[in-house]
Amino acid sequence: MPYCEVGKTQNAVDAALNNGIQIYYRTYGHGPIKVLLITGLAGTHDSWGPQIRGLAGTDRANDDETMAVDRESDGANNEVGGIEVCSLDNRGMGRSSVPNKKSDYSTRIMAKDAIALLDHLGWKKAHVFGHSMGAMIACKMAALVPDRILSLALLNVTGGGFECCPKLDRKTLSIAIRFLKAKTPEQRAAVDLDTHYSEEYLEEFVGSDTRRVILYQEYVKGITASGMQSNHGFEGQINACWRHKMTRAEIDLIRSGGFLVSVIHGRQDVIAQINHARRLAEKLQPVARMVEFHGGHLVTHERTEEVNQALLELIKASEMKMSPHDWNNFPKKRSEASNRTTVERETNIIIAKIHVFLVYLISLFMTAFKYGRSSLQRLKPVRVGASSPK
């Protein structure tokens, strides 16, 4: 099994903290171009399946003994040449180690896991693509080692903290309640579909069945094979997302890192709201391009061809040393529209804080209800028999 022992490639302080931590990974394809894929919350390395096939030209891992040895064909279907892709399970999920303490999870810590993996693979530099929580990790990684980043793709990203809260409406509230109650692969699969895809996409017919029916079966099979995420892993990764924040200094390090950035997002994403992604892309000017597609949180699956093309364009532009001026697609001049954007941003921040407060109240209510019901179930009525006559 391909594992990276994190502590072996780190300095003394980090090595002591990460002693025994193992990160599971797979590599695909062959070529001089290296791409690291970092998955999101509760995702595993194979969550990137459509992009692995699109970039590497194969979905057979390099350590698969049954893989045909035909390296000449790898990457032949793209315009940039041979690509080797590495995808990993973040700590707390899949086959990677699951630390018990919440303090062992943060986007910075997981970014150092990814850096250790680069060292383990012998990759001096790589194109780094992250989705959702993985995009937060990729941001931290780019700020920690900007000299090792060839390009940065941030898919369905937010800025962490309150920005991780989904849009507050009846649909997302229902999804949140169902997610917390899900105890079986079948229950988890049903809620994951509504979380990951736009409703329009799920209800489209493919042959005689809707995509919802087809994907539901695939999800149940996948969750059953990989297993439900442990409580320690889920709580740790949630903690990492909530504590994530990019400082102005870190943003400046990315902007001055000498690499191009793509911020890619689905407009119908109910988990990571697109306004947060747009704001991050604006902060990363002039090196960032904003790319929007019709799709949900898993826009990588819903709009596979378009997303893969956007990623290949980023790689190609980076290999060609394209200037940020030619790469970014933001307006060059800012006037009254910019002032309106600033007012809208401040209003959105206020609304988001109110949103967080409401989510907090709802979570308190649900927790109280859960424990209250458990307490009542533990209470058993005491039968009082009739006293015997003396």
Beta carbons of 371 and 363 less than 8 angstroms apart: no
Is the residue at 189 inside a domain? no
* pLDDT of 200 higher than 90: yes
Is the residue at 373 inside a domain? no
* pLDDT of 358 higher than 60: no
HSE, CB side, 13 Å, CA atoms: give it for residue 114. Answer: 37
Q: Which residues touch 57 (CB under 8 Å, ≥6 apart)?
A: 29, 73, 74, 75, 76, 77, 78, 83
Q: How far apart are CA 116 and CA 110, in angstroms?
A: 10
Beta carbons of 295 and 333 less than 8 angstroms apart: no
Is the residue at 350 inside a domain? no
Is the residue at 186 inside a domain? no
Beta carbons of 117 and 141 less than 8 angstroms apart: no
Is the residue at 351 inside a domain? no
Enclosing domain of residue 299: 3-68+77-166+230-327
pLDDT digit string, tens, across residues 112-124: 999 999 999 999 9
Q: Helix H segments across the chain?
A: 12-17, 49-56, 107-121, 133-144, 170-181, 185-196, 199-202, 211-226, 231-243, 248-255, 274-283, 299-302, 304-319, 324-327, 336-378
pLDDT digit string, tens, across residues 263-286: 999 999 988 999 999 999 999 999
- pLDDT, the chain, mean: 86
Is the residue at 156 inside a domain? yes
List b or e across 48-72, with b for residues whose CB sees 16 or more CB atoms inside 10 angstroms.
bebbbbbbbbbebbbeeeeeeeeee
What is the mean pLDDT of the segment spanning 227-242? Answer: 90
The enclosing domain of 108 has a CATH number of 3.40.50.1820
**pLDDT of 89:** 98
Q: How far apart are CA 326 and CA 329, in angstroms?
A: 8
Q: How confident is the model at residue 348 (pLDDT cuts 50, 70, 90)?
A: low
Q: How many CB atoms lie within 10 A of CB 240?
A: 26
Q: Is the pTM of this model over 0.85?
A: no
Q: How far apart are CA 57 and CA 78, in angstroms?
A: 8
**pLDDT of 81:** 79
What is the mean pLDDT of the segment spanning 21-30? Answer: 97
Q: How confident is the model at residue 362 (pLDDT cuts 50, 70, 90)?
A: low
pLDDT digit string, tens, across residues 280-312: 999 999 999 999 999 999 999 999 999 999 999
Instruction: Please give the structure tokens belonging to residue 250.
Output: 């870190």
- Give bridge partners of residue 130 from the DSSP assignment: 38, 154
The DSSP line for 354-385 is HHHHHHHHHHHHHHHHHHHHHHHHH--PPP-P
Is the residue at 204 inside a domain? no
Is the residue at 270 inside a domain? yes
Instruction: Please give the structure tokens belonging to residue 52.
Output: 């692995």
| Identity at 88, one-letter amino acid code | L
Q: How many domains are contained in the chain?
A: 1
